[in-house]
Structure 1
């Protein structure tokens, strides 16, 4: 059965995000994607970086079914593992031992603004326990800088999110990075991306 979902934003941003990842990813080990959604990013990155293992995850069954369908559709069954069920709020994270031992970094794309703030807190908490010194955590999406929106379109987008769920919304980068610091990360780089988005690169500096 074809359970593939199609998210339009993925088509627009996947190459740009891939370019950022190409600066950071090493030619070995695995990467864990948190909140993989449809799975469209996952299969694209697995194909772009065939020397690593791209491990998708999502708490929603409908998303995990979509990811599995995308893996099958792209003929990646022999290379790419099936998605794992992972809710950042549920500790401890249930991570396969092989993944934990080979992990070089974590990526989360367009997640923290469509989730309650606790998910951001727990994303760093869980990542801080899983990653070792020198490993990366990359967030992609819209952010407020100095508690101000970077564009009018982001202002309207933020309001639309809060109409859907008053716990959602575009996060203030300084507050996000404060959570990172609490869990042993420092903000290594901020990369401007198309459509008023950013890639934020954090590195683990201590356990």
Structure 2
């Protein structure tokens, strides 16, 4: 089994976002694109037993590692890992049917892959997510052309030196792709609350949502990669996660 120290550091904060983003009272189907070592999907699957997880990878070595984690934990809600190239049309995504998924999860892929993979991720998500389904991504982002802190500037430079097609993607690009590739949805909305080096973003399709005070509110979770102080932007307010939990807010 492969082991990535970064996955061990960020798996619990990302899980906290998942807990507040998806319902726990009904069966759900999730696709993880670019599952890496398999540490994330097995950690999430053990905590969120109502979700059937489909891990995928482009690298053959990673596919083997995911299977090793599956065998180790003996999880019945994690499907065998399959090969997936996010840059290809969704018809090539291992037989995943249109409008069949409640959640797509993508962690630390965009900055170490060609732009075509980011574009394909959003394009495919618009096709295979159910109405009100979520696309959740985690990684370092640029904001309106600006990268911070200095460590991310240096990181972005090093990535582009290794491969000119790599580099931190800008929030404005993600917003554009979300709006452009809604698939069957008329629009997707998101907002940004960027703190520190990493952000967790949640995109929700907003076509024909039932009446709800949250129906037209953009939702974007972020967590600081160093301090892990998580916050939720809700109705334009920044609410600490611990306060959110204590007040038992319910997200649509």
- TM-score in terms of structure 1 length: 0.90
Instruction: Write the mapping of 1:1-207 to structure 2, written as runs, cut at 5 A.
Output: 4-27=1-24, 28-76=27-75, 78-91=76-89, 92-96=91-95, 103-184=101-182, 185-190=187-192, 192=194, 196-206=197-207
1:127 to 1:54, Cα distance in 2 relative to 1, 3 A = same
> Is the CA contact 2:101–2:130 (under 8 Å) kept in the aligned structure 1?
no
What value does the CA root-mean-square deviation take over the aligned residues? 1.9
Unaligned residue ranges in structure 1 (runs of 5+): none
Corresponding residue SS for 1:177 = helix
Who wins on radius of gyration, i.e. which is larger? 2
CA distance in 2, matches of 1:189, 1:147: 16
For each residue in 1:38-75, what CA deviation from the matched residue of structure 2 results, as whole angstroms up to 9, or x when unmatched? 11101000001012111111122111100000111122
| Aligned residues between the structures | 201
1:102 to 1:125, Cα distance in 2 relative to 1, 3 A = closer
Deviation at 1:79, TM superposition (A): 3.2
Specify which structure has the higher proportion of helix: 1
Unaligned residue ranges in structure 2 (runs of 5+): 209-252
1:105 to 1:79, Cα distance in 2 relative to 1, 3 A = closer
> Is the CA contact 1:56–1:83 (under 8 Å) kept in the aligned structure 2?
yes
1:139 to 1:79, Cα distance in 2 relative to 1, 3 A = closer
Deviation at 1:152, TM superposition (A): 0.5
4+ residue segments displaced more than 6 Å: none
> Is the CA contact 1:191–1:199 (under 8 Å) kept in the aligned structure 2?
no
